[in-house]
Structure 1
Amino acid sequence: MKRIAIFASGSGTNAENIIKHFQSTENVTVSKVYCNKKDAGVFDRCKQLNVPCVWFSKEAFLHSSRVLHDVQLHADFIVLAGFLWKIPANFIDAFPKKMVNIHPALLPKYGGKGMYGMHVHRAVKENNESETGITIHYVNEHYDEGAIIFQAKTAVDPTDSPEDIANKIHTLEYKHFPEVIEKTIILNQD
């Protein structure tokens, strides 16, 4: 049984979708969710789904090995689902090609520090893009620069607002993210 740790910072809709997907599989489970915001909605979602969700501080994450050691006890694979902090080198070293992130744009466009959520959708709108999408990629030491595993596109209509674009992106995330995680875990089994 392969165990996934999810890192989230917000409402947890992607985390919930991933947890539900793996509840019906035999070889993969979400063992624990980690969150860096005490008041994030992901805590309520995890409680309803009976998946442990724990908060951690920036100090514990960046300047000690406490969080990493706990993850190593509970997971074989890490999924970043709306997690906004840069991943420290000790995590990248401990989980090579076993940590993925989802980004709400077609990387390399609209990636990097500060480019998340509505910041991305507003930039797509302001630049009159005709399409956007999602990118699922491995995590490395740089924001949004890890090797791309999968991309899916959607059209952007001239009348779309940033909120409309966000809704299109969420649809792609919910459809593709769990399946791509599952295939990536299968491909990277030891």
Structure 2
Amino acid sequence: MPFKENYKKKIVLFASGNGTNVENILNYFKNNNRVSFLKVFTNNSKALVLKKIAPFTIKSRCFNNIELKEDLIFKELKLLNPDLIVLAGFLLKMPTSIINYFQNKIINIHPALLPNYGGKGMYGINVHKAVKMNNEKKSGITIHYVDNDYDTGEIIFQKEVKISQLDSVEDISNKVHNLELEHFPKVIELILFKV
């Protein structure tokens, strides 16, 4: 289908914590007139992401687990009808109803080279501690489509970074986070526009 001049690709973001990836994505696309950010959803009313999005003209929605499980969020998403749902540090498992309805329209970023260090409980610092404990020589990021299990969806993009035995858990975390900031917005753009 040819690109319609006035059509904007619609994105919804989900986050649970600091929101550095969300802020980075919003900044990356702020002058792009082909993208519209509809809403940021968070399951944490104290999440720093809410402060980070304040300078942007984007709505936010705090919700609880019951609203997610009972399909209230699903109903909202159907009304919004996004082209892409981006999980940027979102820690809850998406319900099957959302995954099935928005098949191949939900992406997640994971702070490791999947299939290694994925699955339930493997997020944030937990991943980096495991990488350090196993004396890995590299780590990285994986951007993947979301399916019904944790971190098992089709891989879209991976980027690795070398780590040394001298690197602390915090060093590993920083190296991986820098990869997230550098590549996540570019991969989103690639998915949206096949550039």
* TM-score of the pair, normalised by structure 2: 0.93
Q: Out of 70, 74, 78, which is 1:72 matched to? A: 78
Which blocks of at least 5 consecutive residues in structure 2 are unaligned? Answer: 1-7
Contact 1:122 1:162 survives alignment (8 Å): yes
CA–CA distance in structure 2, aligned partners of residues 167 and 122 of structure 1: 13
Identity of aligned residues (%): 47
The runs of at least 4 aligned residues of structure 1 exceeding 3 Å deviation read none
- The alignment partner of 1:178 has SS state of helix
Contact 1:32 1:51 survives alignment (8 Å): yes
- The alignment partner of 2:166 has SS state of coil
Q: Out of 101, 115, 118, which is 1:94 matched to? A: 101
Amino acid at match of 1:73: L
Contact 1:86 1:143 survives alignment (8 Å): yes
- The alignment partner of 1:133 has SS state of strand
CA–CA distance in structure 2, aligned partners of residues 50 and 11 of structure 1: 18
RMSD, aligned CA? 0.9
2:170 corresponds in structure 1 to 163
Q: Out of 33, 39, 46, which is 1:39 matched to? A: 46
1:16 corresponds in structure 2 to 23
* TM-score of the pair, normalised by structure 1: 0.95
Q: How far 1:77 moved relative to its partner?
A: 1.2
> Is residue 160 of structure 2 the alignment partner of residue 153 of structure 1?
yes
Aligned residues: 186
CA–CA distance in structure 1, aligned partners of residues 79 and 188 of structure 2: 20
Which blocks of at least 5 consecutive residues in structure 1 are unaligned? Answer: none
